[in-house]
Amino acid sequence: MVKLIVARLRLPIFSIKHPEAFQVMASLPIPQPSSLVGLLAYCMGVARGWGYTALERVKEWVREGKLLAARAALVEEALPLTVSSVVLRRFRIVDKAHEAKTSGVPKPIDSLREAAQEGDFKEAKSLLEIRLMDAFYREYVMGHELLCVWALADDVDVNPNWLYLAQRLGDTESLCSVLGVELVEGDIEEASDVRTRFPSPAEGIAIPISGPHALVKMCDEERQLRPYVIPCDIKVEKTEAGVVPVVRPSEVEITYEENVKIIKGPEGLLFTAFWPKERARRGR
């Protein structure tokens, strides 16, 4: 028996980079397991006043096999997601100050103050609008709702209501709010055939996958890069605003070469479990 924390998150947007992409030029269609581990740690750190040390506590649960899975899925009854790129401009004052410290050149704030005091507004404008700023592409997933689930051992001390403290899902601009959180019970089983709408590892698959899906590399709960099957239907559609990629939920059927651990909850909640490598080698 395990306990499942199930949270419905309202977006407007989120951006979680492909682990192998530069900056956030390409975003994953859903949050990866490691991002959800970090989200749980953030909420626990705020609720318990532990700050950053909460992340080490949650990582320990992962290593011990007490956090069995962290998964996100698209919500069937919600609006589909779309993907769009924007150009972000931002001040790099902290980075430039660090560069000045290591290179011995004057700090940017000192140069700006000196230019203002001397009335050299052209130099001040150049500092503010060119040398202290940069710009880059960032891809955002825009949508309505996501369903996030954390599977935890029954003896783990976590209050589900801590998830209401979630503010961001991904980068700084990826604001979100929590519509609802519930705690339900689940069972651990073994099977080679899995029918799910949650991401599943793409290793050891015996036959072709049935159902619309995408094969994507994501970071697992231990932040190790692994290939995943993401149940989703990605199409390019024509709208009044133009041609846009649209991401809709789907369900896939996967047959593995050997039995895998799965977690089953109420109302069709089913997904593969994460097991630390040491535990997997012991066959537990």
278: confidence class by pLDDT, cuts 50, 70, 90? very low
Question: 275 — phi, psi (to 5°)?
Answer: -130, 130
pTM above 0.85? no
What is the pLDDT at residue 99? 62
CA distance 265 to 267: 7
If one counts the domains in the chain, the total is 2
Q: Is-contact 142 170, C-beta < 8 A?
A: no
Indicate if 213 and 175 belong to the same structural domain: yes
Quick one: pLDDT at residue 117?
84
Q: Sign of torsion, CA 212 251 179 24? A: negative
Confidence of residue 71 (pLDDT cuts 50, 70, 90): very high
With contact defined as beta carbons under 8 Å apart, do 268 and 75 qualify?
A: no
240 and 277 fall within a common domain: yes
The model's pLDDT over 99-137, given as tens digits with 9 standing for 90+, comes to 656 666 666 677 778 888 888 888 888 877 777 777 777
Do 206 and 68 lie in one domain? The reply is yes
Q: Are residues 117 and 228 in the same domain?
A: no
Question: How many CB atoms are located within 10 Å of the residue 251 CB?
Answer: 17
The proportion of the chain whose per-residue pLDDT surpasses 70, expressed as a percent, equals 89
Mean pLDDT of all residues belonging to the chain: 86
- 122 in the same domain as 218: no
Half-sphere exposure of 278 (CA within 13 A, CB side): 5
Determine the average pLDDT of the residues in 162-189: 91
Alpha helices (runs of H) in the chain, residue ranges in sequence order: 33-48, 53-64, 93-103, 108-117, 121-126, 277-281
Q: Check which CATH number belongs to the domain holding 267 and give it.
A: 3.30.70.3120
DSSP class of residue 154? T
| Contact criterion met (CB below 8 Å) for 73 and 146 | yes
Show the domain range for 217: 2-85+139-281
> Residue 283 pLDDT more than 60?
no
Find where tokens 């799965």 sit.
Answer: 262
CA 85 to chain centre: 18
Extract the runs of DSSP E, i.e. beta strands, from the chain.
2-10, 13-14, 67-74, 81-91, 133-142, 145-153, 177-196, 200-201, 213-219, 225-239, 242-249, 252-264, 270-272
Q: Tokens 């094969």 sit at which residue?
A: 215
246 in the same domain as 172: yes
Helices (H), 93-241: 93-103, 108-117, 121-126
Tell whether 100 and 233 lie within a shared domain.
no
d(CA 263, CA 273): 6
Residues 152 and 126 in one domain: no
Torsion of CA 111, 116, 118, 119, to 10 degrees: 140
Q: Is 96 left (phi over 0), alpha (psi -120 to 50) or beta?
A: alpha
**Claim to verify: residue 154 and residue 262 sit in the same structural domain:** yes
